[in-house]
């Protein structure tokens, strides 16, 4: 069975909010001495996703 992949299109503002939220959640977990592995994995995916330019076919007409 294949895992479902969900793609989000975020502008720089939304990307920053997501990054900030995940980082704050990670800091809270560290402060409470809880496991951060799940948040770390998602945070790394957000960081590695980076910015992609739109191709010509992706612009609305």
Is 22 within 8 Å of 39 (Cβ atoms)? Answer: yes
pLDDT at 58 over 80: no
Domain count, the chain: 1
Domain that holds residue 7: 1-48
Q: Per the domain annotation, does 22 fall within a domain?
A: yes
pLDDT of residue 8: 86
At 18-56, the pLDDT tens digits run: 999 999 999 999 999 999 999 999 999 999 887 777 666
Distance CA 2, CA 18 (A): 26
Looking at the whole model, is its pTM more than 0.75? no
Is 26 within 8 Å of 36 (Cβ atoms)? Answer: yes
Show the tokens assigned to 57.
Answer: 């076919």
Q: Per the domain annotation, does 54 fall within a domain?
A: no
Query: How big is the chain, counted in residues?
Result: 61
Distance CA 44, CA 49 (A): 8
């Amino acid at each position: 069975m294949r895992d479902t992949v969900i793609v989000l299109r975020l502008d720089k503002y939304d990307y920053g909010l997501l990054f900030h939220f995940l980082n704050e959640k990670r800091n809270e977990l560290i402060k409470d001495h809880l496991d951060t592995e799940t948040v770390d994995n998602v945070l790394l995916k957000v960081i590695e996703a980076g910015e992609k330019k739109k191709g010509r076919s992706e612009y609305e007409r």
